[in-house]
Amino acid sequence: MDYEMLLLRFGEITVKGKNRSRFEKAALSHVKSLLRAFPGTEAIHEYGRIYVRLNGQAADPVISSLKNIFGLTSISPVKVSPSKLEDIVEIAVDFVKSIPADKYKTFKVHGRRVFKGFPHSSQEMNHLVGGPVLSACPHLKVDVHHPDLELRVEVRERVTYLFCEVIPAAGGFPLGTNGKAMMLLSGGIDSPVAGYSAMRRGLEIECVHFHSYPYTSKKAEEKVLELAQVLSGFSGRIKVHLVPFTDIQTSLAKTGQDNLIITLMRRSMLRIATKLAEKNGGLALVTGDSLGQVASQTLASMNVIGKVTDLPLLRPLVMMDKEDIISMAKRIGTYDISILPYEDCCTLFVPKSPATNPNLRIVEHVEKELADLDHMIEAAVENTESVIVKPHVIIRKNQKDEPEVVQEQWF
């Protein structure tokens, strides 16, 4: 099917009142950036909508790219007609005739007269267009309640749009319209879903990943960068901060507080993420915590862990079931990467009996005994490597040789 244009609809941002234009401009900017891959296409913004002139480009690949833009709720490929009845009828008939006869058995016309100067009402348009379509396509029957095919005819002053498909898009708020946050990205199933959810609410995210060379392999890091690459498909690019965490982990392990090691580790991670947020303009931290899923995600543990930061802690998955999280991971394309077996620093060491109700006073006392902890946190921030990840490329300043993995020496 050859279409002339795409019609892009906004969702939640239409209730933003005086701020609405800012949100629409952000979505338009994202649309234009993705259209660079399709030479000749052109984005046109009207209040409440974006139109994309295809100018000969096939509609399907453009739609596949644009439907991941946050802030858009749906996309329709449209045929365009002059706003004259005879032209509208002719194009409507050709449009429906071009659809394979075995695909639909029933249809209806849904006319909408946006331009009130058009001489026929919306109700009249249903009959004036539907009659010729029925005559030209005798295999179709009219069903106004549950039609297989609904031909929408939207009459505007200069042109009329005809379309049958309404393809769901990502929804939410345009990227970055609600600020920037640092997201703790592991190689697991949850954190990429949390990142997607955060971006869908209009946050620009930068990812923070903690590695423990030589106890973790380069494969674990590559897995995380692959996950970030999937997420970059929704944002265009993502910065990933790779934090060396080995010294801190080994120091925490030497305290002899095995049951508190996860709590201590998570608190250090949040301290580092907070410092990176301050350096990079982040106003919140995003984690993949889901209430009750593991020891560090009980309410008591999240309370003790979260005490170390003054930034808002955003937990998009906190009330979601694991099955729902897995379903979303499959839908956004991160699940198959997340289940690869390469261990990260969070999974390498899990005590037999991790504390599910840690005592804040005891945890703070253990940390005070570590005289070098603040220095090690500063060093970890200082030695962090930042990588730019785009859908088809990963840009990093230094590519180090992979060290020998010595997991058998881990604690």
Higher pLDDT, 182 or 102: 182
Please indicate if the annotation marks 399 as binding a ligand: no
User: Would you list the domain boundaries of the chain?
Assistant: 5-168, 180-396
Higher pLDDT, 154 or 295: 154
Mean pLDDT, residues 59-73 taken together: 94
pLDDT(402) > 60: no
Mean pLDDT, residues 25-51 taken together: 93
Which is the CATH superfamily of the domain at 180-396? HUPs (3.40.50.620)
Cis peptide upstream of residue 214 (ω within 30 degrees of 0): yes
Q: How is residue 54 written in tokens?
A: 């295809």
Please indicate if the annotation marks 288 as binding a ligand: yes
Q: What percent of the chain has pLDDT over 70?
A: 94
Q: Tell me how far apart the alpha carbons of residues 358 and 364 are, in angstroms, rounded to a whole number.
A: 11
186, 225 Cβ separation under 8 angstroms? no
Please indicate if the annotation marks 184 as binding a ligand: yes
Is residue 349 very low, low, confident or very high in pLDDT (cuts 50, 70, 90)? Answer: low
Q: What is the CATH code of the structural domain delimited by 5-168? A: 3.30.2130.30
Q: Helices marked H in 281-402 — which ranges?
A: 299-306, 322-332, 335-338, 345-348, 360-369, 373-382
Q: Tell me how far apart the alpha carbons of residues 289 and 314 are, in angstroms, rounded to a whole number.
A: 9
Q: Residue 397: what pLDDT? A: 64
Q: Residue 20: what pLDDT? A: 85
Tens-digit pLDDT profile for residues 5-27 = 999 999 887 777 778 888 999 99
Helix axes 261-280, 360-369, angle to 10 degrees: 80
Mean pLDDT of the chain: 91
Minimum mean pLDDT range among 169-173, 242-246, 252-256, 348-352: 348-352
Mean pLDDT, residues 319-338 taken together: 96
Q: Residue 334: what pLDDT? A: 97
Is residue 300 very low, low, confident or very high in pLDDT (cuts 50, 70, 90)? Answer: very high
Q: Tell me how far apart the alpha carbons of residues 79 and 92 are, in angstroms, rounded to a whole number.
A: 9
Mean pLDDT, residues 81-91 taken together: 96
Is residue 387 very low, low, confident or very high in pLDDT (cuts 50, 70, 90)? Answer: very high
Please indicate if the annotation marks 185 as binding a ligand: yes
Q: Residue 344: what pLDDT? A: 67
Please indicate if the annotation marks 314 as binding a ligand: no
Mean pLDDT, residues 351-369 taken together: 91
Is residue 53 very low, low, confident or very high in pLDDT (cuts 50, 70, 90)? Answer: very high
Tens-digit pLDDT profile for residues 178-207 = 999 999 999 899 999 999 999 999 999 999
Q: Residue 217: what pLDDT? A: 77
Is residue 392 very low, low, confident or very high in pLDDT (cuts 50, 70, 90)? Answer: confident
Q: Residue 399: what pLDDT? A: 54
